Amino acid sequence: MNSPAPKSFVNPRARHNYAGRPCSIIGVGSYVPERVLTNADLTRMVDTSDEWIITRTGIRERRIAAPDQYTSDLAAAAAQKALENAGITPQQVDLIIVATITPDMPFPNTACLVQQKIGATRAAAFDIEAACSGFIYALEIGQQFIMSRTYETVLVIGAEKLSTITDWQDRNTCVLFGDGAGAAVLQSRPDSHGLLTTCMGADGSKGSLLCMPGGGSRNPATPESVQSRLHYLKMDGKETFKNAVTAMVQAGQEALRRCALDIKQIKCIIPHQANQRILDAVAERLGATPEQVFMNLDKYGNTSAASVAIALDEAVRQGRIQRGDLVLLVVFGAGFTWAAAVIEW
């Protein structure tokens, strides 16, 4: 499903013939809950300290959704902002794709709930699950519908309420995660290449290193599974760190290679906001300067599939990305999964 770079690709701002029509992001939006959970708050919940958290993660605070606020609510709020930014009405949306590991319920899918909340009654709707890589996976899927002329307008959303699967007794993981959502509207824009290439990958042999064991057909909900805390996220931090850096660097390099680009030509790099040490290592190995890398990890923590979507919206609103700029997105998540995308804005 990976989309190749245009043939004879030399200048990313020059027009080239595509197998299908080009696909661009014409609007973005994001939403984070009002409640702020600081490191100081966490010190009253588990044995930790502000210094310990900042030194190891770079996170200072994260957002936590209200008890009556669900993933579909976060997704709908981000979607509405993206549609407004794009100048698109809900009735113009042909397809909604929601990337999430924290759906409101196993079924119906969260995308259907979002469809109802925003009034996109014409839209088909489905979810995908690629953990923290979900937003780029969803972008690539959405692009295929645009390029093939199946649909004119696709709404892609990354949304998570990770606070519901976070073990607040585990100091190694509870400091990392937050809630939020980000969205992008896809259309074909004739004067822009838009999404130039997407590289995706996975290694299922390492799935147990980052997972939620309970809740599926293997470990359905029982009093014993709940007592064993199987319905919370589990992570081997050291192995995840090591694999994340390697996979993100290789994916980023491959995406640049496909487009015949040098890292210096990229205006803004938006990596998955997982951990400051991971981000620093990825940036260094890619040969990026600090000025190229956009980070909001300190404010929101790791929001999984919402991470790069929220960061992309903030980078655009802050003026870090202008029309015609080249942007590199690079992510890593449970599965393990990883992906990178190069975009001409």
What Cα–Cα distance (Å) separates residue 178 from each residue in 53, 106, 205, 308?
Answer: 14, 21, 27, 13
Span 253-278, mean pLDDT?
97
Which amino acid, one-letter code, is at 227? Q
Is the predicted pLDDT of residue 127 greater than 50, yes or no?
yes
What Cα–Cα distance (Å) separates residue 93 from each residue in 33, 100, 184, 193, 227?
Answer: 25, 20, 12, 21, 43
> Among this protein's residues, is 296 annotated catalytic?
no
> Among this protein's residues, is 243 annotated catalytic?
no
| DSSP-assigned letter for residue 227 | H
Annotate 102-132 with DSSP letters as a single string: S-SSSSS-HHHHHHHHHT-TT-EEEEE--GG
* 19 — pLDDT class (breaks 50, 70, 90): low
Catalytic residue among 132, 174, 199, 268: 132
Q: Which CATH class is domain 196-344?
A: alpha beta
Q: Are 332 and 272 in contact (CB under 8 A)?
A: yes
Q: Are 184 and 161 in contact (CB under 8 A)?
A: no
Please state, as a whole number, how many other Cβ atoms lie within 10 Å of the Cβ of residue 91. Answer: 11
Max Cα–Cα distance, the chain, nearest Å = 61
Catalytic residue among 211, 243, 272, 296: 272
* 1 — pLDDT class (breaks 50, 70, 90): very low
Start-end of H helices in the chain: 39-43, 50-57, 71-86, 110-118, 134-147, 171-174, 223-227, 237-258, 276-286, 297-300, 307-317
| DSSP-assigned letter for residue 163 | G
Please state, as a whole number, how many other Cβ atoms lie within 10 Å of the Cβ of residue 318. Answer: 10
Is the predicted pLDDT of residue 15 greater than 80, yes or no?
no
Catalytic residue among 39, 109, 275, 302: 302
* 7 — pLDDT class (breaks 50, 70, 90): very low
Residue 189, Cβ density class (10 Å: 0-12 exposed, 13-18 middle, ≥19 buried): middle
Domain boundaries defined on the chain: 24-191, 196-344
CA distance 340 to 338: 7
Q: What is the share, in percent, of the chain residues with pLDDT greater than 70?
A: 94
Provide CB contacts within 8 A for 242, sequence distance 6+: none
Taking only the tens place, the pLDDT of each residue in 84-113 is 999 999 999 999 999 999 999 999 999 999
- Do the first three CATH levels of 24-191 and 196-344 match, i.e. the same topology? yes
- 295 token code pair: 């980070």
What's the distance, CA 329 to chain centroid?
A: 9
> Among this protein's residues, is 11 annotated catalytic?
no
CA distance 271 to 262: 17
Q: Are 243 and 281 in contact (CB under 8 A)?
A: no
Provide CB contacts within 8 A for 204, sequence distance 6+: 335, 336
Is the predicted pLDDT of residue 8 greater than 60, yes or no?
no
Q: Are 167 and 339 in contact (CB under 8 A)?
A: no
Q: Are 157 and 183 in contact (CB under 8 A)?
A: yes
CATH number for the region 24-191 comes to 3.40.47.10
The per-residue pLDDT for 177 is: 98
Q: What is the share, in percent, of the chain residues with pLDDT greater than 90?
A: 93
Taking only the tens place, the pLDDT of each residue in 172-193 is 999 999 999 999 999 998 877 8
CA distance 198 to 176: 27
The predicted model scores a pTM of 0.93
Provide CB contacts within 8 A for 249, sequence distance 6+: 282, 285, 286
